[in-house]
Amino acid sequence: MTAVIGMTWKELLRKKVLLMTVLMTVLFLIVFWFIARTIGASEMMNSSPSAQLVEQFAQGAALLTLGFFFGSFILAFLVIFSSFSAISGEAETGIMQSMLTRPIPRWKWYLGRWLGYALFGILYALILYISIVVIADIHANVPKDIWVHIQSYLLFALTVPVLVTLSLLGSTSFSAIGNGVFMTMLYGAGWLGGMVEKVTSSMQMDPEVLKTLYNITGLISLIMPVDAIQRKMLALLLGLQDLAGMLDMSGSITAGFGLGQIPSASFIVYAVIYTLILLAWGTRRFYKKDF
Amino acid sequence: MTTAAIDIQNLTKEYSNGKGCRNVTITIGEGEAFGFLGPNGAGKSTLVKMLVGLIMPTNGEARLFGDPIGSVAARKHIGYLPELYRYQEWLTGKEVIELHGRLCGMAKEEAHARIPMLLDRVGLGSRGKDRVKHYSKGMQQRLGLACALVNDPPILFLDEPSSALDPVGRMDVRRLLQELKQEGKTIFLNSHLLEEVETICDRIALLNNGVILRHGQVHEVLYAQTRWRFKIGGFTPEILPWLVETSGIPLQLSIPDAAHTDTESYSAEPSLDTVWLEAIIDNEEQVGFITTLIVNQGMTLYQVQPVRERLEEWFMEAVSGLSHRGEHE
């Protein structure tokens, strides 16, 4: 299996998708640096020390929300566009036909590919996470609790195996292009569901309408849990559940990137189980697939 | 009793569109070279893909040195060159071979030690350090052969191994296959190049519409009966029925065609009473008898020659008049 993981890493390091991701990341971090500096340099509106403390925290929270909003896009771009053609694309080009006749069980091949993409994405997520937090910390106040950061990072990185699993499963059924479209639309639907939740949570709406909307967005989150995991991660990082009602970020520049409904811990357990089930399903489909 | 290298029993793969192959039964001994022929869409590649574990059979079974096809143990015995394939463009030729070696369970050092020999053997030499994206189709085909040989497998499945090669490349591949055969490898060769099959294979089978139409030893198929030609001067048409009746052999006037033409003989200045007669004759005694009859009748016998039947003719004769699902369907 190590040979398959190694091959996947070589593929990732040599294909253009990584180069594009790195360029996007560098560009994003430069822009983020200037935004952070601008926000950090703004004068405090309150004079009392406690209010200033809250304001500093709000600045840091706004920066982290903004940073991870775009950071998650970059991470998803890398994961989806590096793995969407892993099975069907290689079968279409004929790469798979010579590899699968080698004496390695198919499940090992599938898991090797999965691990290759997932480990690479998790490592990239670590680089992104540290970069965003460090830049935000230089210009504003961010939480310093290392345990909170470990938990937040693990949640940020959890989106990688979820996306890889969905992408590989899709690749066992759809053509390379079809799976690329499928994954982009699925990710887009998840993001849209999250946005609807964020917007509606800060609006006065008919409870019946809200209930229907939450049902729809909840269903989307069950299929594509990435955005919900992201919200949970930010809530944990910023300690928003502990500060419920104490902090109003509606006037902040990141109001549009707010958190909306914060998923429970059970949802994270669901996301992990959901990923494992899809991984097992993908492995079975790959095992039975004719090439 | 020795175990057959490839033992196929009623192997069937049925697709909803009616394609695939049905009830294929073949046993191939160790060290044998087996040619698998058939028109486009006959189901040849489907059968090979089942044998190498890429496709699951609908019915029947097959074993490679006793191990069921598709199992890891069976795949340890094989090297496979697919018909339509590409290798990872982002890797170098050496890295592709190394990857195949590692997948075969070879240590990195062991794979590295074999790579230069394999590159030389398939004619890639120093180009092994180049990325595959810079390879021509022919070079990729050579790389495919090197990958198939990386674990020194006892069985080789080769699907159109020289289809993308120029004439020099084809000769190289043919020479390599002959060497491999001499080394005792069992070769299962799918090829449209009938001359290649004829040169290398001991036995052949012809698949049409998914079923085995004919099979046998190459020398039996090609030389069981030999066509003989007689160039005669002083011929009159009335003599032919007499010759047929007396010899009991269905001699007939020969009409030169592209496949049979001996350019030198047929381009010789013809005269009105000089003709070619031909017949399928089982043994040389019959040839001697006919020549005696011809000479005794006062005709001049210029030439007597056996005409070797080519596999192409055998193939055309076998499939002529039969419907076959071609690529146009």
CATH code where residue B32 lies? 3.40.50.300
Confidence of residue B258 (pLDDT cuts 50, 70, 90): very low
B186 and B292 fall within a common domain: no
B164 and B203 fall within a common domain: yes
Determine contact, residues B207/B26, Cβ cutoff 8 Å: no
pLDDT at B260 over 50: no
Contacting residues of B for A14, CB less than 8 Å apart: 90-91
CA distance B304 to chain A (A): 51
CA distance A290 to chain B (A): 5
B90 and B197 fall within a common domain: yes
| Residue pairs spanning A and B at CB distance below 8 A | 72
Averaged over B138-153, what is the pLDDT? 91
For residue A249, give both structure tokens.
Answer: 């970020």
**Range with top average pLDDT, A197-201, B21-25, B85-89, B153-157:** B153-157
Averaged over B92-121, what is the pLDDT? 92
B148 and B259 fall within a common domain: no
pLDDT of residue A233: 93
Q: How many domains are contained in chain B?
A: 2
pLDDT at B73 over 60: yes
**B172 in any annotated domain:** yes
B111 and B238 fall within a common domain: no
Whether residue A95 and residue B88 make contact (CB cut-off 8 A), yes or no, is: yes
Whether residue A102 and residue B82 make contact (CB cut-off 8 A), yes or no, is: no
Q: Which residues of chain A have pLDDT under 70?
A: 44-47, 202, 240-260
pLDDT of residue A166: 96
**B322 in any annotated domain:** no
Owning domain of residue A41: 2-288
Whether residue B73 and residue A100 make contact (CB cut-off 8 A), yes or no, is: no
Number of alpha carbons in the 13 Å side-chain half-sphere of residue A236: 22
- The interface predicted TM-score (ipTM) is 0.79
Q: What is the pLDDT of residues B9-59, one digit of tens each?
A: 999 999 888 788 889 999 999 999 999 888 888 888 899 999 999 999 999
Neighbouring residues of B220: CB distance < 8 A, sequence distance ≥ 6: none
Q: What chain B residue is nearest to A7 in terms of C-alpha separation? A: B99
Q: How many domains are contained in chain A?
A: 1
CA distance B213 to chain A (A): 26
Whether residue A291 and residue B144 make contact (CB cut-off 8 A), yes or no, is: no
pLDDT at B317 over 80: no
Confidence of residue B219 (pLDDT cuts 50, 70, 90): confident
Contacting residues of A for B85, CB less than 8 Å apart: 93-95, 97-98
Pick B75's closest partner by Cβ from A7, A94, A101.
Answer: A101
Determine contact, residues B186/B154, Cβ cutoff 8 Å: yes
Mean pLDDT of chain B: 84
B211 and B144 fall within a common domain: yes
Whether residue B49 and residue A291 make contact (CB cut-off 8 A), yes or no, is: yes
pLDDT of residue B225: 63
pLDDT of residue B284: 79
Neighbouring residues of B22: CB distance < 8 A, sequence distance ≥ 6: B12, B14, B210, B211
Pick A98's closest partner by Cβ from B73, B76, B144.
Answer: B144
> How far apart (Å, rounded) are the C-alpha atoms in residues B291 and B301?
7
pLDDT of residue B1: 53
Contacting residues of B for A105, CB less than 8 Å apart: 72
